């Protein structure tokens, strides 16, 4: 029984029904907004990646695929112009810094404090990347999965 059908039958909704409908409307708005934000974020990230020079561009594209596959709930967005991935609170969990961003000899894949990589007293929080092979891809995917743990 949907609240709508119920409404047509009777003259009014109960307070509970009204509250439930209001909640659902809010949810749908938030979902639409989130989906729009995701699309916008994705577009911004792909724009940032396309603006990179090779080999940053190919690496950035691949990293984007790896992160979105490993943690589909993370929201893509740019952060200081870099491709980044945030949790539901909008906090950046990880990011890709192209080698060309600050003209260094390696790209960096970094994690922020909200990443759950904790491991004893000391753990690595960012990584220099020269080249992506299956081994590095696997490592990055495992790190991202752990980070959203």
Partner 1 sequence: MSPKTDTKKSTKNTGGLFSAGEKAAIKARAQELKAEARASKDRAEGERAVLAAIAKMPAPYRAMGERIHKIITASAPSLMPKTWYGLPAYANDNKIVCYMRMNPKPPYNDRYMNFGFNEAAKLDEGNIWSTTFALVKLTPAEETIIATLVKKAMG
Binding part of the chain for partner 1, among 3-11, 16-24, 45-53, 103-111 by CB under 8 A, reads 103-111
The reply to whether 50 sits near partner 1 by the rule CB under 8 A is no
Shorter beta-carbon distance to partner 1: residue 3 or 100: 100
> In the numeric block, which tokens belong to residue 120?
């004893």
**How many other β-carbons are positioned within 10 Å of the β-carbon of residue 138?**
11
The reply to whether 100 sits near partner 1 by the rule CB under 8 A is no
Residue 89 near residue 120, CB atoms below 8 Å: no
The reply to whether 21 sits near partner 1 by the rule CB under 8 A is no
> In the numeric block, which tokens belong to residue 38?
């995701």
Measured between alpha carbons, how far is 144 from 139 in angstroms, rounded to an integer? 9
The reply to whether 106 sits near partner 1 by the rule CB under 8 A is yes
Residue 75 φ then ψ, to 5°: -95, 120
> In the numeric block, which tokens belong to residue 13?
């909704």
The reply to whether 134 sits near partner 1 by the rule CB under 8 A is no
- Interface pick for partner 1 out of 43, 118, 142, 145 (rule CB under 8 A): 118
Minimum CB distance to partner 1, residue 136 (Å): 5
Q: How far is CA 21 from the centre of its chain?
A: 29
- Interface pick for partner 1 out of 113, 116, 142, 145 (rule CB under 8 A): 113
Measured between alpha carbons, how far is 60 from 143 in angstroms, rounded to an integer? 16
Residues of the shown chain interacting with partner 1 in the complex, contacts defined by CB under 8 A? 104-106, 108, 110, 113-114, 117-118, 121-133, 135-136, 139
């Amino acid at each position: 029984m949907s609240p709508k059908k119920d409404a047509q039958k009777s003259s009014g909704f109960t307070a509970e029904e009204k509250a439930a409908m209001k909640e659902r409307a809010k949810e749908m708005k938030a979902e639409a907004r989130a989906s729009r934000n995701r699309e916008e974020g994705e577009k911004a990230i792909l724009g940032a990646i396309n603006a990179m020079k090779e080999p940053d561009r190919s690496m950035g594209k691949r990293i984007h695929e790896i992160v979105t596959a490993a943690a589909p709930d993370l929201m893509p967005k740019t952060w200081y112009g870099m491709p980044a991935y945030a949790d539901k609170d909008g906090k950046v969990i990880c990011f890709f810094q192209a080698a060309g961003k600050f003209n260094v000899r390696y790209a960096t894949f970094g994690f922020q404090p909200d990443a759950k990589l904790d491991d004893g007293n000391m753990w690595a929080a960012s990584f220099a990347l020269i080249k992506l092979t299956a081994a590095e891809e696997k490592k990055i995917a495992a790190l991202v999965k752990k980070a959203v743990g």
